[in-house]
A and B are shown apart, each in its own frame.
Chain A
Amino acid sequence: MIKRTFIGLAKPRLEYDVIDETLPAPVKVPKSKKVTLLSYGPWDPNCVVNVKNGDKVKTGQKIALNTGNDVVSPVTGTVSSVSEFTDGKGQKRAAVSIDVADVEEIDENFASFTKGQDFNQVKLYLAYAPGKPEFSIFSDADKPIKTVVICGADSDLMLVTRQYVLKSGIEDIKQGIKMLKKITGVQNVIMAVPQHLSQTAASTGAQVKVIDAQYPAANPFMICKDILGQVVPAGKSCEDIGVHMMSAEAVASIGKAFSLGKVPSEKIVTVIRKDETKALVSVTIGTPVKDVLKAVNVIANEGDRIVFGGPFTGTAAYSEDQPIEADADALIVQDSDDIPLVSDYPCINCGECVRACPVNIPVNMLVRLLENAMYEEAQNQYDLDSCIECGLCSYVCVARMPIFQYIRLAKHELARMNTVEATND
């Protein structure tokens, strides 16, 4: 945890971590006996019909679920269960568990699709590659994507995953950009990278823009505003203004998939130990957290906290059995003694949040309404929709109010109210 500095006059200055010059080799996490794959779509009890327990799967084989949100197996083995899983956002998703076999067999379908340039099929497979390259957004006719931003800066503090991938896999990224342009037809590809990687990024031939070192400059909304000069209107997403963000790892996965003829399954993850030392690991997607922690000698005890993603935007895990997903860039373990707790104090109007907010939201007023569940007023009068969810307000709150939690709850409730209204019409 970064503490407030002695001099508190200025805003908190939180800088993204920079990867070591020496480029540490990632620790290879041994293959687990069992991997769990989570689908991206909602849970549907019927998907069990499609996949039976005891089904044999090969590495790189697509396991079709009824929801249309298939998963691609990163291992060879037998399906041991298909069950319901509730993720950090409360959504029910399908979880497919596979017992890993000793001998690996490669499914050849993907290779034939890449050779035959059957991009529609390739897209479906790649959605499960490390970095989670999403192609569905490109086929939305209402929101034509004009620009793809490849983000080589990490999304949160402490992380070095994307920087590592960019530095170690520049050839894959070069190939990935080529294929990306071919698959999507989008020609405007921009690489947004931290200063120290701009040389490396330039060798891909893509247009390079430098991201500021201070959090939250790598937030997608901030990238749109600062780098592309296009402010995303409140309540809209980057896709609404024709910009799609992809992580460096996603693009590297695309490149690798085409050059190797198989879907990559090794994810680079930054593990941050309790003492805030870092370790890069290379891990098969679907591996349970406990195996990753074992590989880097971290013991998580009862009452500790395990976080997928960074300290400001991650989600907490409730079990060591939860798997590493394709977009989990980091794994943080916090000791129970280091966990800052929120309080039930009211806002004391100190104004720290207002000064920390990168988009000028009057957080002190907003939180008063949110505490009282006045969500529509918060949206109309105090710019709830402008929030880019960086979490800085909660970080600096003197009263330790759960401000970010209130904001997410409010957005969730408003979305729910809108759905109810739409169905009533």
Chain B
Amino acid sequence: MTNRKKFIVSHAPFWHDGSQISARSYHMMIAALPAVLFGLIQYGVPALAVLAFSVATAMLWELVMNYLMKRPVSIGDGNAALIGLLLGMMVPATTPWWAILMGTFVAILLGKHVYGGIGGNPFNPVLIALAVLMLSWADLFDFAEAYRNYEFDFAMVYPIAMLKYYGVSAISSFDTGALMMGKQIGGIGATFGLGLIIGGIYLIIRGIIRWEIAISFLVGVFVTALLFNMADSAKYAGPMFHLFAGYTLIGAFFLATEDSSSPVNFIPMLIYGAGAGIMTVLIRNIGVFVDGVVFAILLMNLVSPLLDKIRPKAIGKVA
């Protein structure tokens, strides 16, 4: 018996398609690159500092939480780095270091680890952090103020804020093409619409995010904005503006699609995406906040488990 060869004895299936969590995270980051690079070119070294610090601190908090909660070290799965990157993409390039440190702390601890780590979070950690930052230090998100030392060849105002406070006439200088090409100020990685769309299409094709959520989110935004615009075009901006301004695209492709906090069945995904899209425009047009994406998606995160109760009947199920 002693010289017998030992084989691996395990349970079927003996194959795996090779997917893994780390690959998923890294593909999300690759998809974010076009938008990130555009932000770096536009805002220079301060943007790089914000992104690097955000990714680094997110991973650091993850490590600290692993240590404190006596769990295996999980920074290798790339999830913390992705959270850091997305948070960095949504804040202005001039965000002070302490705000980012606070943001990643909230994202990793309150957003993720209090619920048991990856997969357990009912809300998108990035959005939890953003919501806390927005409510606590609203001034940080006054983009026009944040970029006062920058000079570009387009109007240095935050389009969504202008629409909110000065109406449709104030945003006449922003046409759809310019918005899409990133000729607007905003979060480091949230303004370059074309880059976000390319990244989103890449993620959809690779099967990493679900087209149902992303597309229904955009349709929700479009249809709601169109209805408002038709009702009063002097007061409410057109649908194309809502699609390409603010956090809409990064929300559609990178935030609403977060695995843990979104539904997995077909119809629930459509309801979830459309619901978040509709809510976004409602908050923008008749709510108190400038941009509705953050709260709209958080709100839909809340109902996601309920939505997932709508599911096809299992084959063979009796009664």
How many B residues touch A, CB cutoff 8 Å? Answer: 48
**Residue pair B206, A395 in contact (C-beta under 8 Å):** no
User: Quick check: B16 and A233 within 8 Å, CB to CB?
Assistant: no
The residue in chain A whose Cβ has the minimal distance to the Cβ of B210 is A351
* Interface hits, A3-53 → B, CB 8 Å: 3-4, 6-10, 12
Interface string of A226-260 (1 = CB under 8 A from B): 00000111101000000000000000000000000
Interface pair B21/A360, CB less than 8 Å apart: no
Q: Are A4 and B19 in contact (CB under 8 A)?
A: yes
> A349 at the A/B interface (Cβ < 8 Å)?
yes
For window 389-407 of A, CB contacts with B under 8 Å fall at 391-392, 394-400, 402, 404-405
Chain A residues closer than 8 Å to B14, beta-carbon distance: 305, 307, 311-312, 314, 316, 332, 334, 339
Whether B317 lies near A316 (C-beta < 8 A) is no
- Residue A117 lies at the interface, judged by CB distance under 8 Å to chain B: no
Given known A-B contacts A231-B315, A307-B14, A332-B14, A345 and B8 have beta carbons under 8 A apart: no
Q: Does A306 lie at the interface of the complex (its beta carbon under 8 Å from any beta carbon of B)?
A: yes
Interface pair A346/B117, CB less than 8 Å apart:
yes
A residues in contact with B318, CB < 8 Å = 233-234
Q: How far is the CA of A383 from the CA of B319 in the complex (A)?
A: 11
B211: A residues at CB distance < 8 A: 9
Residues in B neighbouring A319, C-beta threshold 8 A: 4, 7
Instruction: Fill in one digit per residue for B4-46: 1 if any A CB lies within 8 Å of its CB, else 0.
Output: 1111111111111111110010000000000000000000000
Is B120 interfacial (CB-CB < 8 Å)? yes
Q: Are B5 and A400 touching (Cβ within 8 A)?
A: no
A303 sits at the interface (CB 8 A): yes
**B210 proximity list for chain A (CB < 8 A):** 351
* Inter-chain contacts of A332 with B (CB < 8 A): 14
The answer to whether residues A383 and B11 also contact, given A9-B211, A398-B20 and a CB cut-off of 8 A, is no
A394 touching B13, Cβ below 8 Å = yes
Assembled-state Cα–Cα distance A364/B268 (Å): 14
Q: With A311-B13, A404-B13 in contact, is A303–B8 under 8 Å at CB?
A: yes
Contact: A346 with B116, CB < 8 Å?
yes
The chain B residue with its CB closest to the CB of A409 is B11
Q: Does A266 reach chain B (CB closer than 8 Å)?
A: no
B119 adjacent to chain A (CB < 8 Å): yes
For A399-422 the 0/1 string (1 means CB < 8 A from B) is: 110101100100000000000000
Given contacts A233-B316, A408-B11, whether A340 and B16 have CB atoms under 8 Å apart is: yes
Tell whether A305 pairs with B7 under 8 Å between CB atoms, given A312-B15, A386-B314, A398-B19: yes
Residues of A within 8 Å of B308, CB to CB, are 362, 365
Chain A 372-392 per-residue mask, 1 if CB under 8 angstroms from chain B, else 0: 000000000001011000011
Complex contact A340–B18 (CB within 8 A): yes
A-B contact count (CB 8 A): 184
Q: How many residues of A contact B (CB 8 A)?
A: 76
B267 at the A interface (CB under 8 A): no
Q: Is A275 an interface residue (CB 8 A)?
A: no
Q: Is the CB of A316 within 8 A of B11?
A: yes
Instruction: Assess A311 versus B12: contact at CB under 8 Å? Given A316-B7, A319-B4, A348-B21.
Output: yes
Contacts of B13 in A (CB 8 A): 311-313, 391-392, 394-395, 404
- CB of B7 within 8 A of CB of A318, answer yes
- From 200 to 242 in chain B, residues with beta carbon under 8 angstroms from any chain A beta carbon are 204-208, 210-211
Flag if A302 contacts B19 (CB, 8 Å).
Answer: no
Q: Which chain A residues have a beta carbon within 8 Å of chain B's beta carbons?
A: 1-4, 6-10, 12, 221, 225, 231-234, 236, 300-307, 309, 311-320, 332, 334, 336, 339-340, 342, 344-352, 354-355, 358-362, 364-365, 383, 385-386, 391-392, 394-400, 402, 404-405, 408
28 CB < 8 A contacts A-B: A3-B17, A4-B17, A7-B206, A8-B19, A8-B208, A234-B317, A300-B5, A300-B7, A303-B7, A312-B15, A313-B13, A316-B10, A317-B9, A319-B4, A339-B14, A345-B119, A346-B118, A349-B261, A350-B24, A352-B19, A352-B207, A362-B265, A362-B311, A364-B264, A386-B315, A386-B317, A395-B16, A396-B17
